[in-house]
Structure 1
Amino acid sequence: MGHLIADAVAALEAAYPPGLAQDWDAVGLVCGDPAEPVDRVHLAVDPTAGVVEEAIAAGAQLLVTHHPLLLRGVHGVPADQPKGSVVHRLIRAGVGLLAAHTNADAAWPGVSDALADALGVAVEEALDPASGIGRIGRLPRPERFDAFVARVEAALPTTAWGVRGAGDPARTIERVAVSGGAGDSMLHLARASGVDAYVTADLRHHPADEHLQRGGAPALVDVAHWASEHPWCAQAADVVRRALPGTTVTVSTLRTDPWTLGARAVPAVAKEIP
């Protein structure tokens, strides 16, 4: 007897319990019939139209994404609107969609564990014990901050956003905090933890600047939001493979980071504007 979409949903919700999701979040099965068979599952960070076409081309009956398609309440999903067109395309192709968002952030292991593992950081504890989000761990051996930034760049998918570091290049890095996705709301926790570096995404100018003015400990590494969460796809793929033996599981190769153009490092002095 083959597997059903319900079996895949059960496996993923056991690994990433919906009860861990923030109350504002929208997780779980977005569309699809739990009673339908599944022998191919596709995983991605974002449920974009391109990812949906990739899932269909892979022959998947279920697409699993980190980011929800319908995060905010809607009154309809007309096919002439971007999100509505995705729903219609999925249904017409017979593909279900499951979102595991902040429940995957808070689960252990979850999104930040996958990020830490990609960076070679051995996890020891949660960055925010109250929510279970973010991780603190150690590198195999201490290294300079500039070498650590290079480590992060080499470990994550390349994006136009790139990898940005703020701190003394010669600073010694051993204990590291990570948080997949936007993490400047937990900058105070990283500071209080006494780690040497904090890796996250979407660090804003003013919080980062104020942090540096206060001494700059820990050093900061800012990466693209999509890149910080992409390692989770492989982790979730393993969940499905273990629970549904014989199922073909694929991970998206599409770069769905919205930023597509970028420049390399710039001089410390801004170019004079005529």
Structure 2
Amino acid sequence: MSATLAEVITALERAYPPALAESWDAVGLVCGDPAEPVRSVLICVDPVESTVDEALELGADLVLAHHPLLLRGVNGVPASDPKGRLVHRLIRAGAALYCAHTNADSADPGVSDALAEAIGLIDTVPLEPRPDAPNLGLGRVGELPEAEPFAAFVDRVAKALPATAWGVRAAGDAERMIRRVAVCGGAGDSMLGAATKSGADAYVTADLRHHPAGEHLEKGAHLPALVDVSHWASEWPWCEQAARVIRETFGGNVAVRVSARRTDPWTLAASS
């Protein structure tokens, strides 16, 4: 017996409460009838042409995405618009779209827990805990089972995440020993200060900008070394975490697939 879309949403919102979303965010059901059955789900980071193609090829009844499709207000979703076209394709196929974004970032476990788990961190706590709930919040900081040189740690991160043209960039002394690590899935240079206060030896995140990174490094070699990965790769481990939520709630009644399609926008890299 399949679940209804409303039942799947209830399970997702227990794991990733919408109340945890930032005020500017747009989370929840984008399209779909809560009364309709859900037999299969595709989970992805980005609701884009490629992942919608995959969902329709699989006959999925629901696309669960991390990033919102309609983050900013719109007055319509015409099929002549790229995002509107995706909505029309999903509706015509009888497929729903649900997005869990910053609510999944702050949940316990959430996006940064999945990144920390992929890297192998233990004893993690929020990097920026919520005042009303210290177990919730953005980022995570934890420990490696054993200290290792920064160069080996960078290699560990590269092996833990899916390959991208962006790759893994790092700034720090290759021989520095790394034990305490802060992570933040997605764009995290706004949390450089929190990573520093946490006493981390290294900070792993995405989309580090030139000036914040440079200014951070100029403050001294005792501050966290930096590891910069692609935004998509840093959040992709969350897809399997979300898949577990559905599998544990509905067992074999709902088939779940994690999309392996690389939706990182960068496709080529070259070195001089």
TM interval, short-chain normalised = over 0.9
- CA deviations over 1:116-168 (Å, ceiling 9, x no partner): 00000114211001370000000010000000000000110000111011000
- CA deviations over 1:249-271 (Å, ceiling 9, x no partner): 0011110000001135x6xxxxx
Paired residue for 1:134? 139
Identity %: 64
> Displacement of 1:243 after TM fit?
0.9
> Displacement of 1:66 after TM fit?
0.1
Aligned ranges 1:237-252 → 2 under 5 Å: 237-246=243-252, 247-252=254-259
Q: Which runs of 5+ in 1 are unaligned?
A: 267-274
Asked if 2 retains the 8 angstrom alpha-carbon contact of 1:52 and 1:90, the reply is yes
Aligned ranges 1:130-209 → 2 under 5 Å: 130=130, 132-209=137-214
Provide TM-score, normalisation by structure 1: 0.95
> Displacement of 1:244 after TM fit?
1.3
Provide TM-score, normalisation by structure 2: 0.96
Specify the code of the residue in structure 2 equivalent to 1:233: C
Once structures 1 and 2 are overlaid, which stretch shifts more, 116-125 or 20-29?
116-125
Paired residue for 2:133? none
Specify the code of the residue in structure 1 equivalent to 2:143: R
Asked if 2 retains the 8 angstrom alpha-carbon contact of 1:7 and 1:244, the reply is no
- CA deviations over 1:158-191 (Å, ceiling 9, x no partner): 0011101100000000000000000000001101
> Displacement of 1:49 after TM fit?
1.1
1:224 aligns with 2:230: yes
Paired residue for 1:8? 8
Runs of 4+ in 1 over 6 A off after TM superposition: none
Tell me, in whole angstroms, the C-alpha distance in 1 between the residues paired with 2:2 and 2:215.
Answer: 56
Tell me, in whole angstroms, the C-alpha distance in 2 between the residues paired with 1:81 and 1:59.
Answer: 24
Specify the code of the residue in structure 2 equivalent to 1:19: A
Aligned to 2:51, the other structure's residue is in SS state: helix
Tell me, in whole angstroms, the C-alpha distance in 2 between the residues paired with 1:115 and 1:2.
Answer: 31
More strand by share: 2
> Displacement of 1:53 after TM fit?
1.1
Once structures 1 and 2 are overlaid, which stretch shifts more, 244-253 or 95-104?
244-253
Asked if 2 retains the 8 angstrom alpha-carbon contact of 1:116 and 1:123, the reply is no
Aligned ranges 1:94-105 → 2 under 5 Å: 94-105=94-105
Specify the code of the residue in structure 1 equivalent to 2:242: A
CA gap 1:77/1:51 in 2 versus in 1, 3 angstroms:
same
Tell me, in whole angstroms, the C-alpha distance in 2 between the residues paired with 1:242 and 1:53.
Answer: 27
Specify the code of the residue in structure 1 equivalent to 2:260: T
